Structure 1
Amino acid sequence: MPVARVCVDVPLPHLDRPFDYLVPADLDTAAQPGTRVRVRFSGQLVDGWLLDRVEHTELDRKLAFLEKVVSPEPVLRPEIIRLARDIADRYAGSLIDVLRLAVPPRHAAAEKAAPNTPKPPGRREERPGWGHYAAGQAFLRALADGKSPRAVWSALPGERWPDRVAAAVADTLASGRGAVVIVADYRDLDRLDAALTAALGGDDQHVALSAALGPAERYKRFLRVSRGEVQVVIGTRGASFAPVRDLGLVVIWDDGDDLHAEPRSPYPHARQVLLSRAQLTGCAALVGGYARTAEGQLLVETGWAKEITPSRETLRVLSPRIVTADDRQLARDPGAVAARLPSVAWDAAREAMRADAPVLIQVPRRGYVPSVACQECRERARCSRCSGPLALPGNAGPPACRWCARPAADYTCPRCGGRRLRASVTGVRRTAEELGRAFPGVPVRTSGGESVLATVPAEASLVLATPGAEPIVDGPGYGAVLLLDTWAMLTRADLRAAEEALRRWMAAAALAVPAGKGGKVVVVADGSMIPVQALLRWDAAWLAERELADRRALGFPPAARMASLTGPPAAVAELTESADLPPGTEQLGPLEIGEGSERLLLRVRRSEAAALAHALHAAAGTRSARKSADAVRVQLDPLELL
């Protein structure tokens, strides 16, 4: 096989294809598919990936030779090449961009380490936690028998989800197959790491991959997977491409978290990467979370996956008591209006602390007072120099601009001339200050921003956290959970506002102890609102079904496919005009987004998704071949539209 097909590391769309090179005799042994090489391309020496070796070339010209094999380690396995090509085609990207996401940078010292002998998995044990779900045990039995079930899992409140995931991985490993599990952040990764260590009898059966490891340690662990030393990989979104051999199961927890979306081109979502792997390899798939996304609901409604949900009787036993404090209750409690907490929330907090249990208070705004307004006319206060929003950074000192940091001690309202300011949005630090005065002697802890707590002790205390930064209790759970300022999430100008609000609320409410042990959740919101009703019933599937139906009616993802083109107006128009768009493509916009850029949306039916991606990639290739100066950012189903 004297011809090597190489993917050159040149990120230009019109070069998104393999190039043929001859393999010199002295590199014949080292130049294996999946290795890193260097080749002469357009007069320069560039890096590349050797994708395949073939007998003949289809080109009618003389081929150049490979210059060098950078490493004889075949870290790019054939199934990962197929997966990367599928993801690139789906997101209108180039193969080399996806390969950069799939394989971490090389670390030569790690490759010199001797490989370890893989150890056999431990004995399979019963997994009682899955018995709370109607189809839970059947799902595990299918994994242990070597089958490939696909499921969307709605977790119970208070569920120790790392233990449930570890049980599914252990049964998959017992069948002789591997698994890939993706979580959103390092806190979830640490919890899952500990659960797998306990379930698999040590930490030599799995590896955890994340960018926080550093290049050397990350590549060392990656090599253990590539060499077949371990068959279980857990990690954040980048680990979704891990080259696990004999893959039997892919899992993603909390797929609605925006951390699962890759911010680099071609912007794939970890959920889609795992679902594509399951489709290409025929392995099992599990999409889990307390809440359910519209994408997860689509998997159920199309029959691609089955539901794993608890019975209503089990929910009644294990759920905390969830109540609302709406505007009518606040109106009857004038003192609570000023303090932002109705009497039902105060009572819940007091009862929990009498039982020596911590109280979790979710506040959806960081900082002290992140937004202020004129006391007289309620006009939002803005900086006189850059028009940025003014905020109070602390309980002392003048307001300052959040954009340019300029103090505004002499602020005067341009509308009414008033000089006094009021808080229009209260942050977590100000709320902590208020509640600290209301509950003297009670420890007050905050979690959010750059200071996120992993755990808190099981003692009477107030724990204030921004959404997603709620710490776990070193014990049974929180005695009470208070959800404040719910309007801040529900009134966002985002198609996902209701779905995201419920996801955040359920993640916090799930940390409370069951109602039988005194657990209570108070949501300060109108109880008639659909997301609040879904929380009261603990029925995320109901909301997901409604969301998906609404998006079908509106023509938004995932019921349709949508592409976002962002760039200078002339460049966006050039790309759109040169693209052979599928029939029926709708154009929405363009919309000016400032700084000489605009955004144009293209919408097609799901059946035309592949044609749209191909047309946009081909048009981008045409522009790059012409050496067009202005770049256009192309995103398929951008997260802010979902």
Structure 2
Amino acid sequence: MTTTRQAAEFEPIARVLPMLAVPHLDRDFDYLVTAEQSDDAQPGVRVKVRFHGRLVDGFVLERRWETDHEGKLGWLERVVSPERVLTPDVRRLAEAVAARYAGTRPDVLRLAIPPRHATVEKQAAPELDPLVVDPVDDAGWAAYTGGQQFLAALREGRAARAVWQALPGESWTDRLVEAAATVVASGRAALAVVPDQRDVDALHAAATRHLDQSRVVALSAGLGPSQRYRRWLAALRGQARFVIGTRSAVFAPVAALGLVLVWDDGDDSLAEPRAPYPHAREVAMLRAHQLRCAAVIGGYSRTAEAHALVRSGWAHDLVAARATVRARAPRVSALEDSNFQQERDSAAMTARLPTMALSAARSALAADRPVLVQVPRRGYVPALACGKCREIARCRHCTGPMSLPERNPAGAVCRWCGRADSALRCGRCGSDSVRAVVVGARRTAEELGRAFPGTTVITSGGDAMVAEVPDAPAVVVATPGAEPRALGGYGAALLLDAWALLGRQDLRAAEDALRRWMAAAALVRSGSDGGVVAVVAESAIPTVQALIRWDPVAHAESELESRAEVGLPPAVHLAAIDGAAGAVASLLHTAALPDDADLLGPVDLPSAARRPSGHPVDEVLSRMLIRVPRTRGLDLAAALRRATGVSSARRDQQPVRIQIDPLHIG
């Protein structure tokens, strides 16, 4: 027996966004709401709707009296939960991100809203004590020009935006927590986005020293489904006043948001690897703009994108005076390309550990202080090349780079597919001799153990990261981002294989090298306390000079100017379109690109680029770059978004990947 459905008396139409995977169906659809569903089917809730005969998830966007649809409307199948998980602020942000990155709203919302955990959602929210915030001491911010005034602006609820240049040796977690606590004390909330779990843990530990632990929430991918959803709900329901997390936390539904913080925005981890590939920094700035709230981008170094915000006037500089920087920075030494240097140390320009680096390490160890050694790559020998012609050794199956694991009887192993090759032979010249392109952390630890017999050698990197080392003689070998904190600071830091960072064929090679070096050098004692940083690179290189002077702002200014000269982001907006040659050509033929768009290519997809999903390994893919002025970025994204929808509706072409302002171009 069929039950007759009765439509709701008040606003019987629900406008729904189905979570569909195809671009041409990224639009709203109207459904009838029954009287029984009416109370729960409110804007922001999850629902199930029938679409082309199958049940799909969706979100109610609004309730209406009338519909624009001329045909017969279907019914909402059911309301999954009355919890309004899609807030108006997050909905506006998702729409802006989709428009900025030529994506779809369902793709953005999959990043923004975690899957439902019914048991957690049904649990009653715990009773919380009244919010108490310890008074904030602004002495730490007094070291920066305008730092105290910045905290005063946060206290008054003004939309102060700053790019903060953290001093060497600075406790960045304490400074960010002081800014957040200032905002929380004024009745609003704060959101901090950091690159990885290690940073989440450090910032959370600092936050609980100023705020009640029940009011601080840490979100990260490593949490289980129930715990992550519980903490996400705490933000949604207004219980959490300070939310800390990795890149996806930038979408957290924080109520009464007053401050957005981003730490170390140059870290690749903040770039989302899933469509539509947004960068957490850009999403955070969009959010601050929409909500007219305060924002801080902080780091020991500075990206060209962050500096562009300062130059445009959207944010202001928050830096220390040069005298303060000199007092806090370690002494940095590099290789001198001079006859005098060559006479003193004939192997200085070729040795992996020249005399000046060994001397710095010996002096620190003699003073009973630990020494940090930063190497670019983890593993044993992570990259191999032909010993005769220097061609990079690649896998015969997937063309991935070959590496040499520690004590591996099978020989070289591909880093992409894991296949072993016990008899490598160069594809260019046929030679069977190989050489190391770069030496990994474990091999370096072996070498240093022989160079400093009797000294403790500690390695940190990958899955075996060390959080902290004691203030005692030791050699700590770490990869970038895995450097342990030393109690009292390191006596010296050796920055090895600089050419492996600076020599990469990448737009951000110099910027990224300086960021990694400064992060390590910031852990070293000040020069007045005997702290030394030895970078094994020629001192005449501009990036090395920026480290020696500890002047990341000037380096970012130079990077921005050089990119403007050659027409690269952030001076322009750039779209990278990857896929089969025919599909890329078809998309460009459909797209109504801006008149001033500059097309570059097509070329074969660079070997270092991640391949779009759904294509065979042996298929040759192409890449087309489209460049437009800064003022036409949204026009370019809109044109590509429409063209993607048309191509999707035709179903006669393979899908392509569109990335707006990708981190890595070549």
Say if 1:342 and 1:627 are closer, same or farther in 2 by CA, change over 3 A: same
Say if 1:66 and 1:386 are closer, same or farther in 2 by CA, change over 3 A: closer
Say if 1:566 and 1:409 are closer, same or farther in 2 by CA, change over 3 A: closer
- Partner of 1:37, secondary structure, is strand
Moved more, 130-139 or 401-410: 401-410
Return the alpha-carbon distance in structure 1 between the equivalents of residues 214 and 393 of structure 2. 57
Corresponding residue number in structure 1 for 2:406: 394
Structure 1 residue 467: Cα displacement: 1.5
2:258 to 243, 248, 262: 248
**Gap runs ≥5 in structure 1:** none
Return the alpha-carbon distance in structure 1 between the equivalents of residues 31 and 389 of structure 2. 72
Structure 1 residue 400: Cα displacement: 1.5
1:568 to 580, 583, 593: 580
Corresponding residue number in structure 2 for 1:632: 656
- Partner of 2:48, secondary structure, is strand
RMSD value over aligned CA atoms? 2.1
Return the alpha-carbon distance in structure 1 between the equivalents of residues 433 and 468 of structure 2. 40
Corresponding residue number in structure 2 for 1:444: 457
Corresponding residue number in structure 2 for 1:530: 542
Tell me the amino acid that sits aligned with residue 520 of structure 2. A
Deviations 1:425-458 (A, max 9, x none): 3222111111101111111111122322222222
Counterparts of 1:575-590 in structure 2 under 5 Å? 575-590=587-602
CA contact (8 A) 1:390 1:399 kept: no
Return the alpha-carbon distance in structure 1 between the equivalents of residues 394 and 626 of structure 2. 35
Corresponding residue number in structure 2 for 1:161: 172
Deviations 1:445-488 (A, max 9, x none): 11122322222222110011112221112x11111011111011
Corresponding residue number in structure 2 for 1:492: 504
- Partner of 1:193, secondary structure, is helix
Return the alpha-carbon distance in structure 2 between the equivalents of residues 463 and 327 of structure 1. 28
Tell me the amino acid that sits aligned with residue 48 of structure 2. R
Corresponding residue number in structure 2 for 1:458: 471
Return the alpha-carbon distance in structure 2 between the equivalents of residues 405 and 333 of structure 1. 41
Say if 1:421 and 1:495 are closer, same or farther in 2 by CA, change over 3 A: closer
1:141 to 147, 152, 155: 152
Return the alpha-carbon distance in structure 1 between the equivalents of residues 367 and 539 of structure 2. 28
Return the alpha-carbon distance in structure 1 between the equivalents of residues 94 and 427 of structure 2. 55
Deviations 1:288-344 (A, max 9, x none): 001111111110011000000001111111111111124554674246677621222
Structure 1 residue 125: Cα displacement: 2.8
Return the alpha-carbon distance in structure 2 between the equivalents of residues 273 and 379 of structure 1. 40
The sequence identity of aligned pairs, in percent, is: 53
Return the alpha-carbon distance in structure 2 between the equivalents of residues 413 and 597 of structure 1. 24
Return the alpha-carbon distance in structure 2 between the equivalents of residues 142 and 387 of structure 1. 54
Return the alpha-carbon distance in structure 1 between the equivalents of residues 398 and 31 of structure 2. 56
Deviations 1:265-307 (A, max 9, x none): 1111101111011110100000100111111111001100000
Return the alpha-carbon distance in structure 2 between the equivalents of residues 551 and 236 of structure 1. 28
Return the alpha-carbon distance in structure 2 between the equivalents of residues 372 and 28 of structure 1. 65
Instruction: State yes or no: 1:190 paired with 2:214.
Output: no
* TM-score of the two chains, using structure 2 as the length reference: 0.92
Say if 1:392 and 1:635 are closer, same or farther in 2 by CA, change over 3 A: closer
Structure 1 residue 264: Cα displacement: 0.8
Aligned residues: 640
Counterparts of 1:5-16 in structure 2 under 5 Å? 5-16=15-26
CA contact (8 A) 1:477 1:513 kept: yes
- Partner of 1:570, secondary structure, is helix
Return the alpha-carbon distance in structure 1 between the equivalents of residues 505 and 536 of structure 2. 20
Tell me the amino acid that sits aligned with residue 4 of structure 1. A
CA contact (8 A) 1:97 1:265 kept: yes
Moved more, 449-458 or 171-180: 449-458
Structure 1 residue 604: Cα displacement: 0.8
Deviations 1:510-561 (A, max 9, x none): 0101112111111111111111111111111101111111111111111111
2:87 to 73, 77, 81: 77
Say if 1:573 and 1:187 are closer, same or farther in 2 by CA, change over 3 A: same
CA contact (8 A) 1:388 1:401 kept: no
Tell me the amino acid that sits aligned with residue 353 of structure 1. L
Structure 1 residue 392: Cα displacement: 3.2
CA contact (8 A) 1:121 1:205 kept: no
**Gap runs ≥5 in structure 2:** 1-10, 606-617
Moved more, 628-637 or 299-308: 628-637
CA contact (8 A) 1:262 1:269 kept: yes
Tell me the amino acid that sits aligned with residue 595 of structure 1. E
Counterparts of 1:110-509 in structure 2 under 5 Å? 110-118=120-128, 119-200=130-211, 202-328=212-338, 329=341, 332-334=344-346, 340-373=352-385, 390-394=402-406, 397=409, 399-402=411-414, 421-473=434-486, 475-509=487-521
Instruction: State yes or no: 1:641 paired with 2:665.
Output: yes
CA contact (8 A) 2:335 2:348 kept: no
